[in-house]
Amino acid sequence: MLNAPDQEPHPFRGGVGVGFVDPSDASLGEHPPPPSPSVQGRGDTWFTPLLADMHADEIDLTPRRYGLVAACDGGLLEVSGLSVPVGALCHVSHGRGEPLSAEVIGFRNGRTLMMLLGDTVLLRPGAKVRPVGSPGLLPVGEAFLGRAVDGEGKPIDGLGPIHHRSEWPAGGVRASALDRSPVRESFDVGLRALNALTTFGVGQRIGIMAGSGVGKSVLLDMIAHGAEAEIVVVGLIGERAREVSDFVERHMNGIKRGHTVVVAVPADHAPNLRLRGALLATSLAEHFREGGKRVLLIMDSLTRVAHAAREIGLLLGEPGAARGYPPSALATITKLVERAGNSAASGGSITGIYTVLADGDNQDDPVVDTARSILDGHIVLSRDLAQRGQYPAIDIAASLSRVMNDIVPPGHQALAREFRAMVASYEANRDLVLMGAYRAGADPVLDRAIHMHDALTAFLCQQQGEIVPIDDSLAALGALIGHAG
Ligand SMILES: Nc1ncnc2c1ncn2[C@@H]1O[C@H](COP(=O)(O)OP(=O)(O)OP(=O)(O)O)[C@@H](O)[C@H]1O
Ligand SMILES: [Mg+2]
């Protein structure tokens, strides 16, 4: 069937470009799903999306086209004869066995540029490349709850295939700035120190900033376990495979399993697969928010997502600017973080917690800089505290929730300020105090901090597995600062 002149040709078929036609293609005349988001409403039956598809798209009987691998250079494939949009997934055949998957990342001089979602072993020149699925759409749905998947949405938990019925645009659905309703309600993370001293809000975006091995992942684990959320979506991007299996084992067994999804793409996977994992986790969270749910989105780590975006940008020839990061890499994490927040339309929310690798007090790192400017709060972990065995090693004086003053009463703010002032004063004068060089009476705040030091430290410490709800956290703060000392 010919496309009408004013109609866009179907991305996978029709008369654009000089594609190769596969006469043996069994799917000749088969009708692929249209490239439009189909978010399923609650009252729909299973065939409603299919009916919508049939109305939306004309049946296209042109033969299916395929491309041929023309060049492979450092992870970048050049394919001739293909006319598909950026973001489309393709299968590259290599004789027998499972085909390799590749994603379109750009085009140049009539050739399509692709990146393999695996390694290049077995790839040969002239291999056939066929588009699959719907370009730019990721699988989402309730079927993902209780499951662990990879960056393509395929199960990695050995529990059988996932029959998803909805798809979601990988780049998100752009809402107007006014659809983001403000943060008004406090979000219980299950940690005493954070609930009381840096109270977070529902729909807030928070960064956990620390050097490597200071306890970011353990803290995220505690929050995933203790937070008050209807759905928890966890993206483990570019981390160690061992941590992924640990996490899945710990979180996918208990009662919370039914409302948790894990998207895991360990460090040894291709950069576009890591990026896809981050997009999939965010898309899943958006899908649940659309259904009015209170979602917690956890991403470990945002820095690794930026690294993946940097690799892709450099491969496409973009110049590396700040510390080798091309502008598109920093734009990628900004876009990703901006997708979290409250939705006025659905009443749902995504509270986002992202880890950021920040060694020392490194102000030059562009990812730290970008994250700090776009997030609405950050938890700073200190290596000194970790070395002293104080866990979670939260540097409370450096940590900040930018929405706290909007969501807690003035009395609570005053207690939290007093606590922070004492901790900051003690840490600044710690050496003097330990040497015995400080003379009591010189500074009333420091006097009180010295007197209460053990109690303050005990307040900040919390065992892994222990959950302290927000009301208990506030009561404990009131009891400690309000009456003691
Ligand atoms: N709450 C805690 N209680 C006891 N030990 C902890 C705690 N948090 C962290 N640790 C110790 O610190 C180690 C490193 O923690 P974690 O893996 O969370 O660091 P990380 O900041 O995620 O590191 P990386 O940047 O390398 O991913 C843990 O293996 C553990 O020994
Ligand atoms: Mg970690």
* Long-range contacts formed by 463-472: CB under 8 A, 24+ apart: 464/218, 464/221, 464/222, 464/391, 465/222, 465/225, 467/190, 467/225, 467/226, 468/190, 468/191, 468/192, 468/195, 468/226, 469/188, 469/190, 469/195, 469/228, 470/186, 470/188, 470/195, 470/199, 470/228, 472/192
Enumerate residues 6+ apart whose C-beta is below 8 A from 451.
485
Asked if residue 249 lies in contact with residue 309, where contact means CB atoms within 8 angstroms, the answer is no
Asked if residue 366 lies in contact with residue 373, where contact means CB atoms within 8 angstroms, the answer is no
The alpha carbons of the chain give a radius of gyration, in whole angstroms, of 26
461 lines ligand 1 (CB under 6 A): no
391 lines ligand 1 (CB under 6 A): yes
Residue 230, token pair as written in the block: 């209807």
The angle subtended at Cα 332 by Cα 331 and Cα 336, nearest 5°, is 115
Q: How far is the CA of 216 from the centre of ligand 1 (A)?
A: 6
Ligand positioned closest to the Cα atom of 464:
1
Q: How far is the CA of 272 from the centre of ligand 1 (A)?
A: 27
Q: Helices 271-290 and 327-338 meet at what angle, rounded to 10?
A: 20
Asked if residue 337 lies in contact with residue 375, where contact means CB atoms within 8 angstroms, the answer is yes
pLDDT of amino acid 43: 60
Identify whether 410 is preceded by a cis peptide bond (ω within 30 of 0): no
Q: How far is the CA of 359 from the centre of ligand 2 (A)?
A: 13
Asked if residue 340 lies in contact with residue 205, where contact means CB atoms within 8 angstroms, the answer is yes
Asked if residue 425 lies in contact with residue 401, where contact means CB atoms within 8 angstroms, the answer is no
212 lines ligand 1 (CB under 6 A): yes
pLDDT of amino acid 214: 92
Specify the residue with its C-alpha closest to ligand 1, atom 2. Answer: 391
| CA-CA-CA-CA torsion sign (183, 186, 189, 195) | positive
302 lines ligand 1 (CB under 6 A): no
Q: How far is the CA of 273 from the centre of ligand 1 (A)?
A: 26
Record the pTM.
0.84
218 lines ligand 1 (CB under 6 A): yes
Enumerate residues 6+ apart whose C-beta is below 8 A from 151.
117, 263, 265, 269, 273, 274, 275, 276, 277, 280
Q: Report the residue among 208, 212, 218 best suited for mutation to probe ligand 1: largest number of ligand atoms under 8 A from its CB.
A: 218
247 lines ligand 1 (CB under 6 A): no
Ligand 2 (ion): residues with CB under 5 Å are 216-217
User: For 70, how many CA atoms within 13 A lie in the half-sphere containing its CB?
Assistant: 14
Residue 7, token pair as written in the block: 């109609």
**Residuewise pLDDT in 10s, the chain (485 residues):** 334 444 444 444 443 344 565 554 444 334 444 444 444 445 667 777 667 666 655 565 556 678 999 998 877 889 998 888 888 889 998 777 778 888 898 888 889 999 888 766 778 888 899 988 788 889 999 999 999 999 889 999 888 888 877 889 888 887 777 778 888 899 999 999 999 999 999 999 999 999 988 999 999 999 998 999 999 999 999 988 888 888 888 888 777 788 999 999 998 888 889 999 999 999 999 999 999 999 999 999 899 999 999 988 888 888 878 778 898 899 999 999 999 999 988 899 999 999 999 876 565 788 998 998 899 999 999 999 999 999 999 999 999 999 999 999 999 999 999 999 999 999 999 988 898 888 888 889 999 999 999 999 999 999 998 999 999 999 999 999 875 44
Enumerate residues 6+ apart whose C-beta is below 8 A from 28.
61, 63, 64
Neighbours of 453 (CB within 10 A): 15
Cα–Cα nearest to 146, from 259, 297, 293: 259
pLDDT of amino acid 54: 63
Give the Cα separation of 451 and 212 in Å (integer).
Answer: 33
Give the Cα separation of 274 and 306 in Å (integer).
Answer: 10
Q: Which atom of ligand 1 is nearest to the CA of 240?
A: 27
Give the Cα separation of 172 and 168 in Å (integer).
Answer: 7
Q: Which atom of ligand 1 is nearest to the CA of 243?
A: 17
Residue with tokens 């009252």: 43
